[in-house]
A = this chain, B = another copy of it.
Amino acid sequence: MTFSQFEIRAGAYYDSVILMQLQKGLAGLPGVVDAGVVMATPANRDVLLSTGFSLDGIEASPDDLLIIVKGESETAVSEAIAQVDTLLKKRQSGGSGDYRPKSLKSAVSIQPDANWVLVSVPGRYATDVCHDALDEGKNVFLYSDNVSIEDEATLKKKAQSLGLLVMGPDCGTAVINGIGLGFANTVRQGNIGIVGASGTGMQAIMSEIHQLGGGISQAIGTGGRDLKDSVGGITFEQGLLALGNDDETDVIVMISKPPSPEIANRLLATAQSMQKKTVVYFLGDSLPATRSISYLTFASSMSETARTAVQLSQAPKNSRAQTSPTSPPSPGYLRALFSGGTLAFELLTTLQKVVHPLYTNIPLRPDQKLPDSLQSQGHTILDLGEDEFTQGRLHPMMDNDLRMRRFKQEMSDPEAQMLVLDVVLGEGAHPDPAAELAPLVKTAVSEHNKDVVILVVGTEDDPQNKQHQIEQFEEAGAEVIDNVQEFVAYVATEFSSRHVPDLPAVSLGHETIAINVGVETFYDSVKSQGGTAVHVDWRPPAGGNEKLMAILAKMKSKK
């Protein structure tokens, strides 16, 4: 038979470390079987129930602290509960003996060269602390969650205009100038910079980079929601720019869940403009049909990302990638007329990573749908073997009539810059495609000033004489490629967006000097790594009283 006693402290504020230590302290008292010290949320109540506590008659709200003790006797549990304040005081009065300012402002006056404020107070207070930090000209590491996305967007726009970084909310990991913030691994210094929306992802990647002999320059966390449309990837973009401008960084790693196509395109365009090898890992995303497009290499796991980054970081600095043009993408459009559906598909999946918008009659997303298949617009990829084109007609691999008509239409369009055809050889296909298509190619090149790229699929043993076909097309002025991956890489590189944002530069400095507002472990951690830090003895404004806080806020007229 066990006995149980509980206490409810309404609206109490203690940081989670203190609460966990209280729980352990209680559980260690004589006669105590188990203890729970949690905010009384439904989830926590369920956990307590499933681990054997009875919550009958306990009425508490999610903002209340619930302390419950289970023990062998009534005496044991009452004496344990009676110890709560003693155990709490113990923690609070301990500490390193350093001076603890009571506000951010006084911390700044003590340590004016601080460049970072680490914020881990409960979410409902965190936004104001962050605004104060930005107003003081400091970057922010925001570990707290339960900050609204509207507040996040407001903070980040302000930070962006000031050339400051807000890493978060819900940012668990960063490494700035060799100092780990939040959860971070001890990794050698090196030339790989990371920017990421996933904390454990960054930890695993940096740990495996270290295992492979590589090193980290900086690891910038953005928080899990940075790439949502309402925030727009502000911190991610600032991070890419900072790493692009950082002399210590030769290789950039990007990790996050896949953003929207518009945001992905803008970020990848920014990465391309940094002109540093960049490894891109969008969790759960499909890969393009070529691993690399200009400076970007796409990976599909944390281990692969680390491995690829280390390989790239060890390449000689002056080796230029074969597909790394310095010129801007072509102003005109791509018009690709395919006979083979899967060939069109691979160009589409590849191009859509680095070009936006795109139009096609085989859309993978609604916004890609070409409104009228008979009329190209912007960059257009067509599968002319689709049903809509082949009712009662021969397939375009057998007969060139439809494609020749469409090719003429495209070459007369001044907006079209590159015309693409696939030529699939072999049994069943047209006996001599070059005889019909090469003259048109020649006209497009010499009279209409178009670039023409031909993808040839087939072998030297096919009936059409592959070598002869290639020669005819080359003589007509086309670029001829007979490997699908090389082909998609060539076209994607040609049109891959580039984008240099015009923003105040973020300066990461050379040291990390931190002001800690919130859970003490972050302060301890910076100090134990040999960094400089000040811990603020923070209390919620107006003792946590929401009404009073609102009045204070109005008086400060901060917003």
Contact = CB atoms under 8 A, between A and B. Distances in A.
Contact of A290 (B301, B349, B389): B301
B459 A186 contact: yes
A340 interface: yes
B284 A286 contact: yes
A43 interface: yes
Contact of A210 (B47, B405, B459): B459
A71 interface: no
Interface string A162-193: 00000000001000000010111111100000
Contacts of A276: none
Contact of A303 (B289, B303, B397): B289
Interface in A385-402: 385, 387-389, 391-395, 397-399, 401-402
Contacts of A301: 287-290, 346, 484-485, 488
Interface stretch (A196-204, A236-244, A442-450, A498-506): A196-204
Contacts of A349: 283-284
B203 A340 contact: yes
Central interface residue in A204, A398, A482, by most chain B CB within 10 Å = A204
A207 B457 contact: yes
Interface string A421-433: 0001111110000
A50 interface: yes
A41 B300 CA distance: 45
A419 interface: no
A413 interface: no
A483 interface: yes
A152 to B, nearest CB: 16
Interface in A286-326: 286-291, 300-304
Contacts of A44: 391-393
Nearest to A397: B183
Contacts of A459: 185-187, 207, 210-211
Interface stretch (A15-23, A468-476, A547-555): A15-23
Contacts of A485: 301-304
A522 interface: yes
A291 B201 CA distance: 18
A46 to B, nearest CB: 6
Nearest to A66: B392
A204 B303 contact: no
A39 interface: yes
A483 to B, nearest CB: 6
B286 A50 contact: no
A43 B388 contact: yes
Contacts of A339: 200
A23 B204 contact: no
Interface in A256-307: 283-291, 300-304
A391 B41 contact: yes
A103 interface: no
B427 A483 contact: no
Nearest to A389: B43
A387 B43 CA distance: 9
A187 B51 CA distance: 65
A364 interface: yes
10 contacts: A16-B393, A20-B398, A20-B401, A43-B389, A182-B428, A186-B461, A200-B343, A200-B385, A284-B286, A287-B301
Given A200-B339, A200-B343, A207-B426, 11 more contacts: A43-B388, A180-B428, A198-B341, A203-B457, A207-B457, A210-B461, A211-B459, A284-B345, A287-B300, A301-B488, A302-B485
